[in-house]
Structure 1
Amino acid sequence: MAPLYSVIFLTLCAGLAMPLGALIANFERIKPQWLETELMHAITAFGGGALLSAIALVLVPEGIPHFSPWSAAVLFLSGGVVFMWLDIWLSKQQTSMSQLVAMLADFIPESLALGAAFALGTINGVLLAGLIAMQNLPEGFNAFRELKASSPYRSRTIILLFVLLALCGPIAGVIAHLWLAEWPVIISGVMLFASGGILYAVFQDIAPRVVLEKHWMPPMGAVMGFVLGLVGYMLVH
Structure 2
Amino acid sequence: MLLTVIIISLLAGLAMPLGAAIAHLENIKKKWLEEELRHGIMAFGAGALLSAVALVLVPEGISEYTPYAACAWFVLGGFAFMLLDIFLKKINTPASQLAAMLSDFIPESIALGAAFATGSSSAYLLAGLMALQNLPEGFSAYRELNSTSSYKPIKIITVFVLMAFLGPMFGVSGFVWLSQHPETIAAIMLFASGGIIYSIFQDIAPQVKLENHWAPPLGALLGFSLGIFGLMITTH
TM-score with structure 2 length normalisation? 0.81
Distance 2:103 2:60 in 1: 15
Q: Which residue of 1 aligns with 2:133?
A: 135
User: Tell me, which stretches of 5 or more residues in structure 1 are unaligned?
Assistant: 212-237
- Which of structures 1 and 2 has the larger relative contact order (alpha carbons within 8 angstroms, sep 6+)? 1
Deviant stretches of 4+, over 6 Å: none
Aligned counterparts, 1:25-40, within 5 A: 25-40=23-38
Q: Distance in 2 between matches of 1:162 and 1:35?
A: 26
- Aligned CA-pair RMSD: 2.1
Instruction: State which of 64, 67, 72 in structure 1 corresponds to 2:65.
Output: 67
Could you tell me the TM-score, scaled by structure 1's length? 0.81
CA distance in 2, matches of 1:4, 1:120: 12
The residue aligned with 1:107 is 105
> Residue in 1 aligned with 2:42?
44
Q: What amino acid maps onto 2:162 in structure 1?
A: L
CA distance in 1, matches of 2:75, 2:122: 30
Cα distance in 1 between the residues matched to 2:149 and 2:125: 35
Change (3 A) 1:207 1:142: same
Structure 1 residues 107-116 or 54-63, which shifts more? 107-116
Q: Which position in structure 2 is the counterpart of 1:202?
A: 200
| Distance in 2, Cα, partners of 1:209 & 1:94 | 23
Q: Structure 1, residues 39-71: CA drift from partner, whole Å, max 9, x if none?
A: 111111111121111111111111111111111
Native 8 Å contact 1:45 1:210 kept in 2: no
Pair 151,172 (structure 1): closer, same or farther in 2 beyond 3 Å: farther
2:189 paired residue number: 191
Give the AA of the match of 1:119.
A
Alignment match, 2:178: 180
Q: Percent identity?
A: 60
Kindly indicate whether the alpha-carbon contact (under 8 Å) linking 1:118 and 1:125 is maintained by their aligned counterparts in 2: yes
Alpha-carbon separation, structure 1, partners of 2:180 and 2:149: 41
Residue 156 and residue 9 in structure 1: after superposition, are their counterparts in 2 closer, same or farther (change >3 A)? same
In the alignment, is the contact (CA less than 8 A) between 1:47 and 1:142 conserved in 2?
no
Displacement of 1:146:
2.0
Distance 1:100 1:181 in 2: 28
CA distance 1:101–1:151, shift in 2 (3 Å):
farther
| 1:20 corresponds to 2:2 | no
Residue pair 1:95, 1:151 contacting (<8 A) in 2 also? no
Any stretches of 5+ residues in structure 2 without a counterpart?
210-236
Q: Give 2:218's aligned residue.
A: none
